[in-house]
């Protein structure tokens, strides 16, 4: 009778020890134990570092996007400027080409007008000279040569005499002739400038 009771007590003690030493019991004991203060502080610092790193990365990304947007805006502005310059250059080239055509036509018309003015002036010069003293002019061409610089004092005197006679008779012919000559010279200069501008474009 004593032996079975001892065996029962031994079994109960063994079962109790196994329960106390089991992983579940150990885990429950561990869960019941509060964490150390150093572990919490370390985890909090680590979380804070990660948050700061994420914020830093976001700031860098935003800064990069801002710089990229500025760069793209500058490129777009430069493109607009270049397109405007190209349009202006094309407009200038078109205007220069049109000027060349117009001035060329004006010069051709002025040359015809100049020949006509010279003919009128020569006739007036001949009539003026023949009405005065000295050797009469043989033809109109000789009178036209007096428009150029005289070669000697005799030609200068004759030219002065003819100019005086023409001005006394009808100054309009001489004025129209000189105005036509000046306009022709100015148009020829303008034509040269327009051609140069057209070539540069």
Structure tokens, 82? 């270049």
Give the chain's domain count: 1
Query: What is the C-alpha separation between 200 and 192, in angstroms, rounded?
Result: 13
Residue 5 lies in a domain: no
Q: Does residue 166 contact residue 159 with C-beta atoms inside 8 Å?
A: no
Tell whether 192 is covered by a domain. yes
Question: Does some domain include residue 123?
Answer: yes
pLDDT, one tens digit per residue, over 1-38 is 545 556 656 665 555 555 444 555 445 445 545 556 56
Q: What pLDDT, in 10s, does the model give residues 37-53?
A: 567 888 888 888 888 88
Predicted pLDDT of residue 101: 83
Domain hosting 84: range is 43-200
Per-residue confidence band for 90, with pLDDT thresholds at 50, 70 and 90: confident
Q: Which residue carries 């001489």 as its tokens? A: 174
Model's pTM, two decimal places?
A: 0.40
């Amino acid at each position: 009778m004593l032996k079975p009771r001892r065996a029962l007590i031994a079994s109960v003690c063994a079962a109790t020890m196994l329960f106390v030493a089991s992983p579940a019991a150990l885990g429950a004991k561990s869960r019941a134990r509060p964490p150390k203060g150093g572990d919490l502080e370390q985890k909090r610092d680590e979380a804070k570092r990660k948050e700061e790193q994420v914020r830093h990365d976001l700031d860098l990304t935003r800064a990069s996007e801002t710089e990229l947007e500025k760069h793209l805006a500058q490129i777009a502005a430069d493109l607009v400027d270049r397109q405007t310059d190209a349009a202006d250059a094309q407009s200038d080239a078109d205007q220069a080409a049109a000027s060349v055509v117009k001035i060329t036509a004006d010069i051709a018309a002025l040359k015809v007008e100049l020949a006509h003015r010279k003919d009128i002036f020569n006739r007036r010069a001949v009539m003026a000279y023949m009405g005065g003293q000295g050797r009469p002019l043989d033809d109109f061409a000789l009178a036209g040569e007096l428009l150029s610089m005289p070669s000697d004092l005799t030609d200068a005197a004759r030219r002065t005499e003819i100019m005086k006679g023409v001005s006394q008779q009808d100054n309009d012919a001489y004025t129209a002739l000189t105005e036509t000559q000046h306009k022709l010279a100015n148009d020829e200069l303008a034509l040269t400038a327009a051609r140069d501008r057209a070539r540069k474009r």
